[in-house]
Each structure stands twice: as C-alpha cells, then as structure tokens.
Amino acid sequence: MKQVVATGKPVVSDLITGVLSGKPTIILAYPVRDPADRVVGAVGIGLNLARLQTLFSSIPLPEGSVVTLTDAQSRVLARSREAERYIGTVVQSTPSPIRDVPATQTLAGVDGIRRFFGNAIVDRGPWLLSVGIPTSVAAARIAPLWRRNLAISLSAIAAIMIVSLWFAHLLSGGLGRLRSSVRQIADGDLSPPSKSKVPNLELAQLQDGFITMAANLREAHQALDHQIEQERRMRETLQSLQRQVVRQERLAAVGVLVSGVAHELNNPLQAILGTVELLERDNGLRPEVREEIAFIKTQSGRAREIIRNLSRFSSQQTGPPALVDLRDVVAEVVQLRQRDLDASSIVLEVDVSALRKVYANFTEVEQVTLNFVINAQQSIEATGRNRGRILIKLFDVGKKVRLEVHDDGPGVTPEDEPKLFQPFFTTKPVGKGTGLGLSVSYGIIESYGGSIGHRGNDWGGATFFFELPIIDPASVPPAPSSSGTSTDDPAPVLQRSISPRI
C-alpha cells in the first residue's frame, strides 16, 4: 500500500496468505486521488486464489489436464489440480521474462508430467495462464484425427492415381493408334490413316499433323511412281527408236545391195526369156524339148517375179500417189482372199470405222494389206488345226488412219521379232516364203511417211499394222508422170535410183 501511495501506480502484491481466509491470496492495490489528482490513499483488493482454483477446476478438460496461473517470478499462483501442493512453487522451465514464453510448448510441469501447453499472458500481473493437456491424452485425442486425415489423404492419393491411370490409359490408347498408323506407313501402306478419338488437344493436333504427313507422303509416292513410269516409257521409246535406226541402216545397206543384184540379174534374165520365146516359135521341136523350154520359161518367170519384188523393195516410188480410201482397199483384199480363207475354215471379220482418206498408191497399200492377210492365213494353216480367225480393223487415230490385221495363229517368237522386216527373213519352207513381203511392205509404208509394226495380241497370235498420215491434198505436190513407171514392168528397176529411206 505504501508503494502505491509513494508511486501513485497500481501494484500487484506477491503471493501471500490471506489474513482472514488463511488461503493463498494476492492483493491488487490501486491509488485513490483527490479532485486535484493528488494521491490521498490506496485501496487493496484481496484475490482469493482458492476461488480461482475452483474456477479452473470447473473447466471441462481431458483427464490429467491442468490450468495454471503463474506470476512474473514463475511462482504458481493457482492450479486446477493439487493446488495446495504446488502453489508458491517456482516453475523452473518457464523462461524469464514470462513475456518470452511461446504460445505453445511441450514440457514437463512441476508435477513432472509431460504436457502440451497453451500459454496466454495476463497483462495486469503480468501473469502466465497455461492450459496443459498430457501429451499422452493429446496423442490419444489426435490419433483418430490423424487416422481420419490419413484416410482422407490416402483416399485423395488413390483418387488422383485412378484419374492419372485413366488419363494415362486414354493417352496410351491414342498414342497406340498413332503408333500403329506409323508402323502401317513404315510397312509401305500409304492409305489414309483413320481419324480416331483422342483424349486431348495436343494429341488431336498430332494426329491431324500425322494424317497430313501421310497424305503428303502418298502424293509424293504417287508422283514418284508416275515419274518412274514416264521414265520407263521414255526408255522403251528410246530403245525402240534405237532399234529402228539400226534396222533402217541395215535395210538401207541391204537395199543398195539388192538393187545392184536386181539390176545385174534383170538383163540376162530378159535375154533368157527372149531367147526362150524365140525357141518356142520353132514348130519342129520335139515334145520333150518343148517341155524343157516351158520349164525354163516358168522358172525364169519366177525369177522375174522375185526381181520385181526386189525392185519394189529398193525403189522409191512404184506408182503415182493419189487419195486412197482404205475401206476400198480392205474391201478388195476381202474379195480376193475370201474364197481361199473359206477353204481353210478361217473366219475373216472386218471392223471398219475410218472416215478419212490417205494419200498413197492404191496398189501398193493393197499389196501390204494382202501380205498381212496371206501371212496371217499361212501362220494359222501352219498350226494344222484347220480353223482360225482373222480380223481386219480400220480406224482413225489422230491425223492418221490405222489398219490392223489380227490372227489367232501361233504369233511371233521374241527371237524372230527384231528380224521380221529384214529382207529375206523367213521361217517358211523353201518355195513358200521369200522373206521379202514384210520388208517390201516396210519400204512402201515408210515412203508415204507412215509407220509399220507388229505386236502380240490377246488371242495369242500376231497383229500386224500400219498407219498412214491423212494429208491435205492441197499441200501434196502434183503427181509425177506415170510413163515408164508401171509396177508390172521390171525394166524401170534398172533406171531407178536407190533411196536410203528403207
């Protein structure tokens, strides 16, 4: 009280034993001031801590818990348990000043029991109010919470894992489909990959990119195939041209030779025929001599025919060119060969659709066509099967007219094919073939700017064809005079120049 009067400030006493109550007490002393604010006295309030203890004890706390009030010197002022025993005891573990005491701490109390403390500072004292729950009780209380939290955490982890697994499954499904599409392309199958459902945008974009890439690859592949095919065709064309050049050169050389031979043979042959005709006029000849002369005449006639063919082979032109309707040529060939073909049970079909005319020599073109048909007939007859089929086709091809003769004979062997148009090439028996028909035909067609050739056909036989250009008659030079150029007259062979065209 003296201190209050002297300082004029409120004072909290140390722990004392109440004079009246005999119980642990604290005196709270406050100054009393007059109107002039002078300290004129002091008033003290005794705080019976036993009542406080009763209050602390009534707080519902778990078994073994304790509520303690300590003063600034860490002396126990009030305690909910065993108050009589510990009041006034100094708690050694409380740090000084008590304001430094942490809000929560775990330590052994004055009774030696380890507790989990929650601390609060009462400013007035200052006093420290602590609520301690035994750590074992706290742990027992917290355990279910831990278990619940653990269960919640485990459930959450499991849920996350399930979602992740499901997502990974979707992802791996999408990737698997992409992988199989890649493998399909790697195996050379460039057909468009099917668009499947994918779990996210990135995979969808990847799939789109992949489909585009496959389409580009397919296009590139097709372009490459196309290029390779073009190159193959060009190579074939080049090889065919090379073969033609070689053949033409060979034919030209043979043409020069043949022309010379024909020229040399024609004069003695004419002389023989003339002499034979003179001899024939002698009426006194014996029959066997007359027979011999007839034989000489026949053989000389044959020789003249061969020379005539040779002359055609090497000549530049055998007659005046004119507008020729190849339909007329076909009609005449049919008329000429029909009877013979019927006799061999060979059916002759005609398919004519060409409307335009060509500019050539009718007889020569007829000769070429006739040669094709006779060769076709002979090839069928050579099989010995006594029936067959020949088709003559005539149609327009651009600015050309094309004539084809198809047969169902044995066809031409690959070894014979390159020799077909060479003079004297024949596979027929002696006396039946001269090997000049196709080479003469070659010369004729080439002389009119056309082309001639052979290919195999679907019947397994041969197809021989020629194409002649349709020429505007206005652009054709006037026909040369026909005097002395008759094809029946072998004499002009002697005057004809040899052309390197063949």
Report the amino acid identity of residue 363. Answer: T
Residues 357-376 within binding reach of ligand ADP (CB under 6 A): 371, 375-376
346 is an interface residue for ligand ADP by CB under 6 A: no
Shortest Å distance, C-beta 378 to ligand ADP: 7
For 317, residues 6+ apart whose C-beta sits below 8 A from its C-beta are 361, 447, 480, 485
Choosing from 364, 404, 407, 446, the residue that interacts with ligand ADP (CB under 6 A) is 407
Give the C-alpha separation, 105 to 116, whole Å: 6
Residues 421-450 within binding reach of ligand ADP (CB under 6 A): 425-428, 433-439
Selected range binding ligand ADP among 49-57, 247-255, 326-334, 408-416, rule: CB under 6 A: 408-416
Which residue, 133 or 392, has its beta carbon nearer to ligand ADP? 392
Question: In the chain, how many H helices and how many E strands?
Answer: 10, 16
Shortest Å distance, C-beta 488 to ligand ADP: 20
Query: Which pair of structure tokens corresponds to residue 294?
Result: 């007839």
Which residue, 118 or 435, has its beta carbon nearer to ligand ADP? 435
Which residue, 81 or 308, has its beta carbon nearer to ligand ADP? 308
388 is an interface residue for ligand ADP by CB under 6 A: no
DSSP-assigned letters across all residues of 295-337: HHHHHHHHHHHHHHHHHHHH-S-SS--EEE-HHHHHHHHHHHH
CA 358 from centroid of its chain's CA atoms? 49
341 is an interface residue for ligand ADP by CB under 6 A: no
Q: Using alpha carbons, select from 441, 293, 418 the residue that is nearest to residue 364.
A: 441
Size of the site for ligand ADP (CB under 6 A): 21
Shortest Å distance, C-beta 264 to ligand ADP: 23
Shortest Å distance, C-beta 444 to ligand ADP: 12
Which residue, 42 or 394, has its beta carbon nearer to ligand ADP? 394
Length in residues, the chain:
502
For 48, residues 6+ apart whose C-beta sits below 8 A from its C-beta are 18, 21, 23, 24, 25
Which residue, 219 or 351, has its beta carbon nearer to ligand ADP? 351
Q: Using alpha carbons, select from 110, 64, 67 the residue that is nearest to residue 89.
A: 110
Give the C-alpha separation, 111 to 116, whole Å: 14
Binding residues for ligand ADP, rule: CB under 6 A, are: 371, 375-376, 379, 407, 409, 412, 416, 420, 425-428, 433-439, 462
